[in-house]
Amino acid sequence: MRKRLFRSLIRQDISFFDSQCVGTLASRLINDTEDLQAIVSDGGTKLLTAVLNCVGGVSMMLATDVTMSVVGLLGIPLFLATTGNASKLSGYYGLLINDALAEGNTVATEALANIEAVQANCAEDSEVAKYERSQDAYLNLVGKTQFSESVLNQTKQLLLQSADFLLLVLGMYRVVRGEVTLGRCLAFRSYLRKLYSGLDRLLEIYGDFYFSLQASERYFDLVDRVSAIQDGEGVPPNAPTKGNGERGLGKGQQRTQEERASREEENASLRDDEGGAVPERQKIATEAEQNVIEFRNVSLAFPSSAVTGAQAAESATEKEEEDSTRRRRRRGEVLSDVSFRAGKGQIVAIVGRSGAGKSTLAKLMHRFYDPQEGSILLNGVDIRSLRLHHLRSRIGFVEQEPLLLRQSIAENIAYGLYSPLPNTAQRRPFAAPSSPFATNSRVPFASSSGTSFSSLPRSTSEQLRKHSSTEENACAEKDPKNEQDEDDDFEEIFNAKEAESWPRELLMKTVRAAKVAHAHEFIRRLPRGYFTLCGDGAAVRLSGGQKQRIAIARSLCRDPQVFVFDEATSCLDAATEAAVEATLDLLRKRQKTIFVIAHKLATTRKADFLIALDKGCIVESGYPEEILERPNSRYAQLFADKKPQEAP
Helix axes 468-476, 574-589, angle to 10 degrees: 70
> Side-chain half-sphere of 76: how many Cα atoms within 13 Å?
18
Q: Could you tell me if residue 646 is inside a domain?
A: no
> Rounded to an integer, what distance in angstroms lies between the CA atom of residue 9 and that of residue 20?
11
**End position of a domain, from candidates 508, 526, 560:** 560
Q: Could you tell me if residue 272 is inside a domain?
A: no
Helix (H) or strand (E) holding 297, with range, is strand 291-300
Q: Could you tell me if residue 461 is inside a domain?
A: yes
Q: Could you tell me if residue 363 is inside a domain?
A: no
Nearest CA among 617, 611, 612 for reference residue 321 = 617
Q: Average pLDDT, stretch 131-137?
A: 92
Mean pLDDT rounded to a whole number for the chain:
74
Query: Partners of 595 in the beta sheet?
Result: 348, 564
Q: How many domains does the chain have?
A: 2
**End position of a domain, from candidates 198, 223, 248:** 223
> Rounded to an integer, what distance in angstroms lies between the CA atom of residue 589 and that of residue 585?
6
Q: Can you say how many angstroms the Cα of residue 170 is from the centroid of all Cα atoms in its chain?
A: 69
Q: Average pLDDT, stretch 152-174?
A: 83
> Rounded to an integer, what distance in angstroms lies between the CA atom of residue 367 and that of residue 376?
9
Residue 258 has pLDDT above 70, yes or no: no
> Rounded to an integer, what distance in angstroms lies between the CA atom of residue 194 and that of residue 187?
11
Instruction: Quickly count: other Cβ atoms within 10 Å of residue 329's Cβ.
Output: 20
Lowest mean pLDDT among 119-128, 186-195, 634-643: 634-643
DSSP state letters, 490-545: HHHHHTSGGGGGS-HHHHHHHHHHHHHTT-HHHHHTSTTGGG-EESTT-S----HH
Residue 430 is classified by DSSP as P
Nearest CA among 482, 461, 485, 464 for reference residue 473 = 464
In the prediction, which pLDDT does 308 show? 36
**What does the chain come to in residues?**
648
Residue 462 has pLDDT above 70, yes or no: no
pLDDT tens for residues 80-102? 777 767 777 777 788 888 888 88
Higher pLDDT, 223 or 318: 223
Q: Could you tell me if residue 74 is inside a domain?
A: yes
The helix, strand and coil proportions of the chain, stated in percent and rounded to the nearest 5, come to 55, 10, 35
Nearest CA among 367, 296, 309, 265 for reference residue 618 = 296
> Rounded to an integer, what distance in angstroms lies between the CA atom of residue 288 and that of residue 39?
60
Beta strands 321-322; 328-329: pairing state: antiparallel
Read off the CATH number of the domain in which 42 is found.
1.20.1560.10
Q: Could you tell me if residue 130 is inside a domain?
A: yes
> Side-chain half-sphere of 588: how many Cα atoms within 13 Å?
22
Q: Could you tell me if residue 482 is inside a domain?
A: yes
In the prediction, which pLDDT does 238 show? 58
pLDDT tens for residues 60-76? 888 888 888 888 888 77
pLDDT tens for residues 541-573? 888 888 888 999 999 998 899 999 987 776 677
pLDDT tens for residues 10-26? 888 888 888 888 878 88
Q: Average pLDDT, stretch 511-524?
A: 90
- Asked if 375 contacts 382 with a C-beta cutoff of 8 angstroms, the reply is yes
> Rounded to an integer, what distance in angstroms lies between the CA atom of residue 52 and that of residue 62?
15
At 134, is the secondary structure helix, strand, or coil? helix
156: domain range?
Answer: 2-223
Higher pLDDT, 601 or 295: 295
**End position of a domain, from candidates 223, 253, 274:** 223
pLDDT tens for residues 208-254? 777 777 788 888 888 888 888 888 776 656 543 333 333 333 333 33
Residue 592 has pLDDT above 80, yes or no: yes
Three-state SS annotation for 37-59:
HHHHHHHHHHHHHHHHHHHHHHH
Residue 160 has pLDDT above 70, yes or no: yes
What percentage of the chain carries pLDDT values higher than 70?
73
In the prediction, which pLDDT does 467 show? 36
Model's pTM, two decimal places? 0.68
Higher pLDDT, 412 or 205: 412
Higher pLDDT, 647 or 435: 647
Q: Where are the beta strands (DSSP E) in 35-115?
A: none
CA-CA-CA-CA torsion sign (563, 608, 355, 113): positive
> Rounded to an integer, what distance in angstroms lies between the CA atom of residue 486 and that of residue 57?
82
pLDDT tens for residues 409-434? 999 999 988 765 444 433 343 333 33
Q: Could you tell me if residue 280 is inside a domain?
A: no
